[in-house]
Amino acid sequence: MEPEFTVGGRIAKPVHEVFEAVVNPDKLSHFFTTGGAKGRLAPGAVVTWDFHDFPGAYPVHVVEVEQDRRIVLRWNAAPGSAEPDASGARRTTVTMTFEPLEDGRTLVRISESGWSPTPEGLKASYGNCEGWTGMLCAMKLWLERGINLREGFYK
């Protein structure tokens, strides 16, 4: 069975504000991409995300963006953790959904799949699950309270 996961959480902000916090590189850099993000998420774009805890600019291939509802990304997997696709690249797929709730909050879910059912694939999936959970916590705290949870956490 292929490793995959879904994490989720509720953020006490309207769906548009939460969605923009992800697609806008300036906003994303406040709470997630500790080394900065370059490029707005738009279908067909290749943007870069940089992290102090994993230095180097990571290319992020934007597959789909449905305003205020859904984002689908593909990015490189750790060596040996995923099978090559038709282009020879080893990438996983990240799907983010944004659901407005009746009380004005937004339910965010992040799923990732595409790893090989190997020890390397399992290890990489666990690490990314931890990373996306941290991203959701950091986004909630930044959007609701203006606090950067990741500041000084990794460096």
Cα angle: 89, vertex 7, 110; to 5 degrees: 50
pLDDT value, residue 83: 87
pLDDT band at 53 (very low <50, low <70, confident <90, very high): confident
- On whether residue 33 sits in a domain, the answer given is no
Mean pLDDT of 88-112: 97
- On whether residue 47 sits in a domain, the answer given is no
Task: Write out pLDDT tens, residues 108-155.
Answer: 999 999 999 999 999 999 999 999 999 999 999 999 999 998 887 776
- On whether residue 46 sits in a domain, the answer given is no
Ramachandran angles phi, psi of 49, nearest 5°: -125, 135
Domain count, the chain: 1
- On whether residue 38 sits in a domain, the answer given is no
pLDDT band at 59 (very low <50, low <70, confident <90, very high): very high
- On whether residue 35 sits in a domain, the answer given is no
pLDDT value, residue 155: 67
Place of tokens 């399992």: 122
Q: Which domain holds residue 97?
A: 4-23+66-145
Q: What is the 3-state secondary structure (H, E, C) of 48-74?
A: EEECCCCCCEEEEEEEEEECCCEEEEE
Q: What is the CATH number of the domain that holds 134?
A: 3.30.530.20
Strand duo 91-100 + 106-113: pairing: antiparallel
pLDDT at 66 over 80: yes
- On whether residue 153 sits in a domain, the answer given is no
pLDDT at 90 over 80: yes
- On whether residue 109 sits in a domain, the answer given is yes
Q: At what angle do helices 15-23 and 119-145 cross, to 10 degrees?
A: 120
pLDDT value, residue 151: 80
Percent of the chain with pLDDT over 70: 99
pLDDT band at 54 (very low <50, low <70, confident <90, very high): confident
Percent of the chain with pLDDT over 90: 81
- On whether residue 76 sits in a domain, the answer given is yes
pTM of the entire predicted model: 0.94
Ramachandran angles phi, psi of 136, nearest 5°: -60, -45
